[in-house]
């Protein structure tokens, strides 16, 4: 590890004595954590270096990018080293205790804590537990496919509803185009009823949005589990308990779309439309009985 040739002291802020976080470079060449410098300057009337007390000519000192990258790499390598070394015995993890479900070193295995436990080589244990996790992952993947399929049927139904709306609206308009202003008023009223039903049906389709969230949640869970499985064996086994819990899905299966329950009842809007409108027209036609009879039949012929 290249950065481990540098000690933590070399990479520590002279104010907080922690590894630098966002180090800024002063004109005197000293580097200070940005937050530490801000707090130090807030207690002083003049901007000066906390180390040498030299005046700073810059109100916003530039970020020491090289030092920042060095500190981040140092912290990461130190953290990575902790993941593969037993902090109790300073020995490399080589085994996995099946009883306690944790990685152990050779000294741990011979200690009283684990000497009666079943310990297997890390690579064998990792492969075995990955197979277990693959089995646990299969129901999640199947459930995801079911969600996608049912969501598709909802989306197709939603599109069909819109198609029905457009087709029925066109047919209604074609009928009402043959009428005078009175019939145009009837047209507007019936289209309003049709749109009201379409709106009611569309409100029922809000389940699509919830299924989208469920699909996103399942996809994220599966992706997270798959990423855990790609980790090195030690890290994978260290996180195994948490990963298995992620695979325990509590989502209910999606409810399939009831057949015919979500579509528009087109027949209700179109059946006997002309006859019903013709009957209503008789209420406003003021003729003598004979004339009314002739004219009404003429109007009826016009509809047909």
The 8-class DSSP code of residue 27 comes to T
* Predicted confidence pLDDT, tens digits, the chain (304 residues): 344 467 788 899 999 989 998 999 998 999 999 999 999 998 887 789 999 999 888 888 999 999 999 998 888 877 766 667 777 777 787 888 988 888 888 878 888 888 788 999 988 888 999 998 999 999 999 999 999 999 999 999 999 999 999 999 888 887 766 667 777 787 788 788 788 877 777 766 677 788 888 899 899 889 989 988 888 888 888 888 888 888 887 778 877 766 655 676 676 667 777 777 777 777 765 444 554 444 444 444 444 4
84, burial (CB in 10 Å: exposed 0-12, middle 13-18, buried 19+): middle
Q: Do 49 and 28 contact (CB within 8 A), yes or no?
A: yes
Report the alpha-carbon distance of residue 304 to residue 292 in Å, rounded: 18
Report the alpha-carbon distance of residue 260 to residue 120 in Å, rounded: 58
CA neighbours closer than 13 Å in the CB half-sphere of residue 146:
13
Q: Which helix (H) or strand (E) holds 104?
A: strand 102-104
């Amino acid at each position: 590890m290249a950065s481990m040739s540098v000690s933590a002291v070399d990479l520590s802020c002279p104010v907080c004595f922690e590894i630098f976080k966002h180090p800024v470079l002063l004109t005197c060449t000293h580097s200070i954590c940005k937050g530490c410098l801000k707090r130090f300057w807030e207690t002083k009337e003049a901007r000066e270096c906390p180390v040498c007390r030299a005046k700073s000519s810059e109100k916003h000192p530039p970020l020491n990018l090289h030092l920042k990258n060095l500190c981040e790499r140092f912290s990461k390598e130190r953290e990575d080293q902790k993941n593969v070394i037993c902090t109790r015995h300073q020995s490399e993890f080589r085994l996995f205790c099946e009883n306690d479900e944790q990685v152990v070193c050779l000294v741990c295995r011979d200690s009283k804590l684990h000497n009666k436990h079943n310990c297997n080589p890390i690579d064998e244990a990792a492969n075995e537990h990955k197979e277990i996790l693959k089995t646990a992952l299969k129901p999640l993947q199947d459930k995801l496919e079911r969600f996608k399929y049912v969501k598709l049927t909802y989306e197709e139904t939603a599109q069909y509803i819109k198609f029905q709306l457009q087709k029925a609206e066109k047919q209604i308009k074609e009928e009402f185009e043959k009428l005078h202003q009175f019939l145009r008023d009837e047209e507007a009223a019936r289209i309003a009823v049709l749109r009201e039903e379409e709106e009611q049906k569309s409100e029922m389709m809000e389940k699509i949005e919830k299924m989208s969230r469920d699909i996103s949640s399942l996809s994220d869970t599966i992706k997270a589990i798959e990423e855990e499985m790609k980790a090195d064996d030690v890290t994978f086994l260290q996180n195994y308990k948490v990963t298995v819990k992620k695979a325990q899905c509590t989502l209910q299966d999606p409810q399939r779309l009831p057949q015919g329950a979500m579509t528009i009842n087109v027949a209700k809007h179109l059946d006997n439309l002309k006859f019903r409108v013709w009957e209503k027209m008789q209420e406003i036609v003021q003729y003598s009985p004979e004339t009314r009879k002739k004219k009404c039949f003429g109007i009826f012929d016009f509809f047909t």
